[in-house]
Structure 1
């Protein structure tokens, strides 16, 4: 009887661990799916804004501006990513655009 209870508890524990792993995997997939959809929406919105000729005011990022003015582009990209949560490519493009707008 004791062996049966021990085995049942071990199987229950293994099942719970596997369920937790499946849940984490589903959560990660959902995060990736959401990020992909958000990126597609942002691209479409950028296309609409460009088509309509609308200028969208960027957020003020004083730390990024300071780093660009000090010619610290890598640090500026890092700061931009920290502030906005953007990808590396998006941050680099944004920092380059800001620097160009400032004539740097």
Structure 2
């Protein structure tokens, strides 16, 4: 893997982490507010990321990456909560960045 490829992988991994952690944070907040629907949470996270976060200068880099990463992070979050509710796993934890 050359430097350009490694940089691209790292950017996509960082993008996934930002989306997953934002979704988990919002889900936790909505849980305390009594709004428990995963679809409501995912829709709000999409709106927040699309309309606010991705438009901030420090997050412009997100617009240069594949949207499939964004979608997969939200799917992964939904799956994590499904496993939690079924008793197959503990409560989802914030994703930590790791180097490649």
TM (norm. structure 1) is: 0.39
Bigger Cα Rg: 1
- Flag the structure with higher helix content: 1
